[in-house]
């Protein structure tokens, strides 16, 4: 008698349920506190930018998938999550067409020309950010005064540091305000509340969606490097705590450097990658014409990822010799 076809396949026969969609959903949820904080500070413009970014990213993803004859997979939410992260890097006043252009760059140059999700050497969000910042420095690099009519601009903490030095930083930007977010401090949408970012980041780490190693390496590299200068000359250099809380340190550490595809896969690789990102962030903040270095740093250090990926653990039992001269 023929049995009613059972499936015959190689194991494992169960699956953890991990998926790209699940990861991206977690990332979106993790950013909600930051969006809420930005809403309190910048008002409805926050939601406008976030919605345009997410919507246009999904739209471009679908269009490009058609164009490149790939199967439609906007359901994996990778475009939506990428759009939201990009919105985090933009000021609330950014015009809509800049956002739409940004998401196009993100999906074209950060995904589809390389062959789709997972084939890109750089984080699409950062490609888009860099492209926008270089093309429209005024629109993307200037930050509005919160709660005003948003027509004036104001210095972000890091720009203030660049322009006026560390002397009056503590009075202008109390650490507590930097941490919680405040209408006295401007920046991009995602830079408002460090508490919100920390909550989101910890959520991702605790749900094991991202590795804790990269953010830990990033933040300790950044704080360590800042501390060296601060200890030498606290008058000229800002404190490590200021550098941790100002600008995009936490955003970069938890949401950009941890990008699956462009970060290393081994623990040693991740640790070094994080450290170098942190140090590089500080180097840019100290010695370049740009006030903020976190995003550039991640972008540049991810070029080294293939090198970090060479730092592999020793195979089980390899003390006895290499597995490569197998006798079988």
Residues that bind other proteins (CB under 8 A): 3-16, 18-20, 22-23, 115-119, 211, 260-261, 263-267, 270, 312-321, 323-328
Rounded-to-integer distance, Cα 140 and Cα 135, Å: 9
Q: What value, to the nearest 5°, has the Cα angle with vertex 297 and ends 294 and 301?
A: 145
Given the complex with other proteins, which of 26 and 194 has the nearer CB atom?
A: 26
Please answer whether residues 278 and 225 qualify as being in contact, where contact means their C-beta atoms are separated by less than 8 angstroms.
yes
Distance CA 40, CA 315 (A): 51
CB nearer to other proteins: give 20 or 199: 20
Report the distance separating Cα 20 and Cα 26, nearest Å: 10
- Choice between 5 and 138, CB closer to other proteins: 5
Report how far residue 201's alpha carbon sits from residue 109's, in angstroms, rounded to the nearest whole number. Answer: 27
CB of 18 to other proteins, least distance (A): 4
CA distance 148 to 41: 10
CA distance 111 to 127: 10
Phi, psi of 163 (to 5 degrees): -75, -45
- Give 289 or 325: the residue with its C-beta nearer to other proteins: 325
Cα–Cα distance measured from residue 221 to residue 278, given in angstroms and rounded to the nearest whole number: 4
Nearer Cβ to other proteins (13/69): 13
Q: How far is the CB of 249 from other proteins (least distance, A)?
A: 23
Smallest distance from other proteins to CB 63, Å? 20
d(CA 127, CA 124): 5
d(CA 223, CA 129): 24
Do the Cβ atoms of 279 and 249 come closer than 8 Å? no
- In this structure, what token pair is assigned to residue 91? 């000021």
Show the tokens assigned to 133: 């910042």
Output the smallest distance, CB 302 to other proteins, in A. Answer: 11
Nearer to other proteins, 228 or 315 (CB): 315
Pick between residue 287 and residue 319 the one whose CB is nearest to other proteins.
319
- Shortest CB 7 distance to other proteins, Å: 5
Look at the block and give the residue holding tokens 């000359």: 233
Tokens found for residue 182: 């405040």
If the CB atoms of residues 3 and 149 are measured against other proteins, the closer one turns out to be 3
Supply the angle between the helices 157-164 and 267-287 in degrees, to the nearest 10.
Answer: 50
Say whether the peptide bond before residue 12 is cis (omega within 30 degrees of 0).
yes
CB of 16 to other proteins, least distance (A): 5
CB of 293 to other proteins, least distance (A): 25
């Amino acid at each position: 008698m023929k049995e009613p076809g059972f499936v015959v396949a190689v194991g494992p026969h169960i699956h953890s349920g991990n998926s790209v969609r699940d990861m991206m959903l977690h990332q979106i949820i993790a950013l909600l506190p930051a969006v809420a904080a930005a809403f309190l500070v910048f008002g409805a413009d926050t939601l406008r930018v976030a919605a345009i970014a997410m919507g246009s990213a999904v739209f471009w993803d679908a269009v490009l998938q058609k164009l490149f004859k790939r199967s439609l997979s906007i359901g994996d939410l990778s475009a939506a999550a990428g759009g939201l992260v990009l919105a985090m890097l933009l000021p609330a006043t950014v015009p809509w067409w800049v956002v739409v252009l940004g998401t196009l760059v993100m999906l074209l140059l950060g995904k589809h020309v390389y062959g789709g999700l997972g084939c890109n050497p750089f984080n699409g969000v950062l490609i888009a950010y860099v492209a926008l910042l270089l093309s429209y420095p005024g629109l993307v690099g200037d930050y509005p005064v919160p709660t005003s009519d948003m027509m004036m601009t104001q210095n972000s903490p890091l720009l203030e540091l660049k322009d006026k030095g560390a002397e009056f930083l503590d009075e202008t930007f109390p650490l507590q305000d930097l941490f919680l977010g405040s209408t006295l401090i401007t920046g991009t949408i995602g830079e408002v509340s460090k508490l919100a970012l920390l909550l989101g980041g910890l959520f991702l780490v605790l749900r094991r969606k991202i590795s804790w190693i990269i953010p830990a390496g990033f933040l300790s590299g950044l704080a360590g490097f800042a501390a060296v200068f601060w200890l030498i000359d606290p008058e000229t250099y800002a404190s490590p705590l200021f550098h941790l809380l100002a600008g995009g340190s936490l955003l970069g550490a938890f949401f950009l450097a941890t990008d699956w595809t462009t970060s290393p896969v081994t623990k040693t690789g991740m640790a070094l990658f994080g450290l170098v990102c942190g140090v590089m962030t500080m180097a840019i903040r100290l010695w370049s014409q740009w006030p903020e270095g976190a995003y550039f740093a991640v972008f540049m250090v991810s070029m080294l990822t293939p090198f970090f990926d060479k730092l592999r653990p020793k195979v089980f039992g390899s003390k006895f010799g290499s597995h490569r001269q197998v006798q079988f």
